[in-house]
Amino acid sequence: MTLTECRDLRTGDVPWQETDWPSRPSDPFPAEPVDVAIVGSGIVGALIAQWLADSGRRIALFDRRPPGCGSTAASTAEIMWAMDVPMSHLATEIGEAEAARRWTRVLTAVRDLGKHIDALGLNGGRVARPTLYLTGSVLDEAGLVREADIHRRNGLPSVFLRAEEVAERFDIAARAAIASQGGFEIEPVRLCHALLDRARREGANLHWPVDVTGLHPDDSGIVLEMADGRSCRAENVILATGYERASLFLPPAFGLHSTFAIATPPGGAPLWRERAMIWEASDPYLYVRTDRIGRIIAGGEDIESADEAVRNALLGSKAGAIAAKLETLLGARPITIDRKWAATFGASPDGLPAIGPVATMPNVWMAAGFGGNGIAFASLAAQMLERELGGEPDPDRDCFSPYRFD
């Protein structure tokens, strides 16, 4: 019996050198109650822990695997504020004002995350990049014009570019696009570990391998039950378990898919101008960026199945399909695959995360970054949960509630 699903979260060779990930030691198991227990030590749990530890709370993180070595290690780490579901599409469902409210809040969270990384001087800091959103099967050129207009009306830093403008400015195949500012790239595991190191210096404790199998509320909080029989008492519990869902608490609207990615050998990039982070208004979409040592990192070709055997069997063909799409985008310049990997990936109907109190147990909170902006959503979760744990309901709680689709 476990609190969360147990999954093989990734397969293949990610571009972040695993030999560069010295394991963070596990701290002695808590002998006293803590203020906040965080289940999960990936990028979401790490950022929340660092944020809350800086405010003086006693924090304990628990994970069944080494920190940052699950879905975080599979991330292509393009930090953007635009969501998988276009803003214009979301506006038809909930109205433009409500769509703008959600998108603006995510934009603010991305900007604040960048400032936070810079202020801390964290190892694994960010590099600012423009983003380029190309026409595709979800939005044609007329659809992109409408999307750019709704961005502009609501103060989002975007501009529409005609196909010839895209080709001239970025030196890629001519396709209309929206160019946006405010995004950046990171090295995901390095940043995760840097945040954990900072949190531990502020008094947070890290415990692994520890499998949390149950939560039991009582008069003074929540008792976390471990698979080995130990227990820890916490005033509040935050579930930051990524794509290993806490199925008792997370509604089925938050589904699991599989995604695929490749990296070229170092030193070959950039093959286009401004090192823009590029993605398509398609389903599934191609997404591309470069890294600090001159690799091209590209992904996509998502499938709706989260079955690990199905995903793994497709890795070779999906990597080839990504490389072929990339060659077309770059004008048939040859692409050499140095690394390829596949991973479990989460999605929601509106492309937004599940953040907030769970409905069936007091003092338990969800921080599930489902959608293509998981690290951006980590920043959003840290801000929202700091406010909530301080006794002040976040004004946008309903926008990101795990139960908004009920």
Q: How far apart are CA 116 and CA 107, in angstroms?
A: 14
- pLDDT, residue 19, reads 64
Residues 23 and 159 in one domain: no
Q: How far apart are CA 96 and CA 110, in angstroms?
A: 21
Kindly state the average pLDDT of the residues 359-366. Answer: 96
What is the phi-psi region of residue 288: left when phi exceeds 0, alpha when psi lies from -120 to 50, beta otherwise? Answer: beta
Q: How far apart are CA 168 and CA 279, in angstroms?
A: 18
Instruction: Of 88-92, 218-222, 293-297, give the range with the top mean pLDDT.
Output: 88-92
For residue 383, is pLDDT > 70?
yes
CATH code for position 233: 3.50.50.60
Range of the domain at 313: 129-182+255-347
Residues 196 and 248 in one domain: yes
Q: What's the half-sphere exposure (Cβ side, CA atoms, 13 Å) at 154?
A: 21
- Model confidence over 149-196: pLDDT tens digits? 999 999 999 999 999 999 999 999 999 999 999 999 988 898 999 999
For residue 23, is pLDDT > 90?
no
Q: How far apart are CA 236 and CA 248, in angstroms?
A: 17
Domain termination residue (choose one: 309, 331, 347): 347
- pLDDT, residue 288, reads 95
For residue 18, is pLDDT > 90?
no
Residues 265 and 154 in one domain: yes
pLDDT band at 124; cut points 50, 70, 90: low
Transcribe 301-339 into DSSP letters.
Answer: EEES---HHHHHHTHHHHHHHHHHHHHHHTTS-----SE
Kindly state the average pLDDT of the residues 92-116. Answer: 97
- pLDDT, residue 255, reads 95
pLDDT band at 127; cut points 50, 70, 90: confident
For residue 1, is pLDDT > 80?
no
Residues 259 and 297 in one domain: yes
Residues 263 and 336 in one domain: yes
- pLDDT, residue 52, reads 96
When divided into structural domains, the chain yields a total of 2
